[in-house]
Amino acid sequence: MALDELKITQAIIERFTEKLKSALNLDVAIVGAGPSGMVASYYLAKEGYNVAIFERKLSIGGGMWGGGMMFNQIVVQKAGKRILDDFGVKSLPYNEEYFTADAIEATTVICAKACQAGVKMFNCISMEDVVVRKGRVCGLVINWSPVEMTGLHVDPLVVHARYVIDATGHTTEVIKVIERKMGERLLTPSGKIEGEKSLWVEIAETTTIENTKEAYPGIFVTGMAANATFGSYRMGPIFGGMLLSGEKVAQLIHERLKGEKGKSVDE
């Protein structure tokens, strides 16, 4: 059969539209395709939930590609290795406590496993706002990142979601929107974003997991966004906490969704 440029174009438009339409009513909308967001998406999709990730950049992976200062290796501690094993990412013991993995392999394998589990990945799409109903977040307002980057005045589109995960890393963007626009207390000690502290790896890795929780009704924070929201330290180029935080947020949301079968976002 002759190759036909219009058929190719039509195929892309139709299939992308199908994918976007299937993401209009999500169980979980994740903002940010860094390590914590991608890990969370995989575990939730494996439970059968309708999950999508919206990533501002053209590339997925957030800060994981770059390893430490562009030395593209990552370090995970013993506890985090279990997650690498779960995904089938190769890791090498470095000493009693640390394992290393190739940052490129880790990023691509985690992404591939998430896609194969059914996660709908949307790159070049930014979250610019959220949807609220009765003091609870129940969706995202999204737009093409090039629209955001060029400052074009183009109105966004909307997706509904029973839960939203802020996996935007250091900048904790979803929570910032709530703080800026809703004028309501967050579920943090001060009611505001507590803010990220300087580097202390030992404490930061533990608190990343502890701080992985709901930060406003309907929004959970994971990864670096968890520490930035609840006011803990950064940890530098160690990724166990990010992976374990992604797993934990998936478990927390699974528990919630199990108890809410059949409800719509308007209830």
**CB nearer to ligand 48H: pick between 111 and 263:** 111
Q: CB 201 → ligand 48H: shortest distance, Å? A: 8
If the CB atoms of residues 8 and 199 are measured against ligand 48H, the closer one turns out to be 199
Find all residues with CB under 8 Å of 148, minimum gap 6, and list them: 56, 126, 128
Q: Which helix (H) or strand (E) covers residue 103, if one does?
A: helix 103-116
Structure tokens at 145: 């990142």
Distance in angstroms (rounded) separating the CA atoms of residues 70 and 80: 21
To ligand 48H, the closest distance from the beta carbon of 33 in angstroms equals 5
Min CB(263)–ligand 48H separation in Å: 26
* Residue 149 CA from chain centroid, whole number: 21
Q: How far is the CB of 213 from ligand 48H (least distance, A)?
A: 15
Instruction: Count other C-beta atoms under 10 Å from residue 132's C-beta.
Output: 17
Residue 138 or 249 with smaller CB distance to ligand 48H: 249
Identify which of residues 135 and 236 has a Cβ nearer to ligand 48H in the complex. 236
Cα–Cα distance for residue pair 74/62, rounded to 1 Å: 13
Cβ proximity to ligand 48H, 34 vs 139, nearer residue: 34
Q: Which of 57, 67, 113 is nearest to 246 (CA)?
A: 113
DSSP 213-240: SEEETTEEE-THHHHHHHT-EE--SB-H
- What number of other Cβ atoms are within 10 A of residue 242's Cβ? 30
**For residue 15, what is the DSSP state?**
H
Residues that bind ligand 48H (CB under 6 A): 31-37, 54-57, 62-64, 126-127, 167-169, 171, 173, 199, 223-225, 234-236, 242
Give the count of beta carbons closer than 10 Å to the beta carbon of residue 155: 7
**Between 63 and 139, CB nearer to ligand 48H:** 63
CB closer to ligand 48H out of 191 and 236: 236
Phi, psi of 176 (to 5 degrees): -60, -40
Cβ 56 to ligand 48H shortest distance, Å: 3
Which amino acid is present at 163?
Y
CB of residue 194 vs ligand 48H: minimum separation in angstroms?
A: 16
State the minimum distance, in angstroms, from the CB of residue 262 to ligand 48H.
29
